[in-house]
Amino acid sequence: MSEWSDNLRDCLTISSSLYGALATSFYSEPTRKALTRMREELIDLSHMKAIWDEPGVWEKAEKLEEALVHLKLKEGARDYAALFAGGKEGSLCPSESSYLEHTLYGAATREIMEIYKKGGFEKEQAFKEPDDHVAVEFAFRFLSGLDLSERMGLYEREFEPIVKELKEEQAFVRDHLAIWIPLFATHIEKTAETSFFKAAASLAEALVRADLKLHEAMLSS
């Protein structure tokens, strides 16, 4: 393996930032503060597009950015409650166990908790949803990716620790996010009332798919 390029590290930073924006969108009903934070995270799309060549991601990100502008808080709150808080018939908890095992706190939850423990990550105590909730899994990928990207630039040719973590992060995306997020996205796109949540779910699926490609490229470089 050769030394990682600045471009690959930048791509990892960008993908991680997008996970952070989506974690915010799925964490709770929309608030002015949360929407402002998301706009800030998406504000430089043209610059990010020039670095990470993933047209499918940027098409979805632009739709989310547009939906942010037009979202009314009351409509967003109603849609969030219907989609994620049992306010609509057929709604599911947005967690891995709910989608894959049709239960809360299933085997997937326990697996995810072990991954968090190994990575030194803890869910916010104030957040009472399961550890495999989409917002928590995306927050984990956000923080672990940013940390990994930063340390990649410090290792020069001592690659072993970074390669190990890259493989662990790849496994998290491949064995968890890539398995259930497409199901989650399809469900949300069909049942959401607002373009905001439809766009967020669509971007989530595209991001996970592109993230798999990115990790493969980094590990083969």
| Region 142-152 average pLDDT | 90
Task: Kindly indicate the confidence band of residue 4, based on its pLDDT and cuts at 50, 70 and 90.
Answer: low
Tell me the residue type at 110: R
**Residues near 36 by Cβ (< 8 Å), separated by ≥ 6?**
none
Q: Per-residue pLDDT tens for 38-69?
A: 888 887 888 899 999 999 999 999 999 999 99
SS3 string of 30-57? CCHHHHHHHHHHHCCHHHHHHHCCCHHH
CA trace torsion 25, 123, 159, 13 (10° rounding): 20
With vertex at residue 141, the alpha carbon angle to CA 35 and CA 16, rounded to the nearest 5 degrees, is: 60
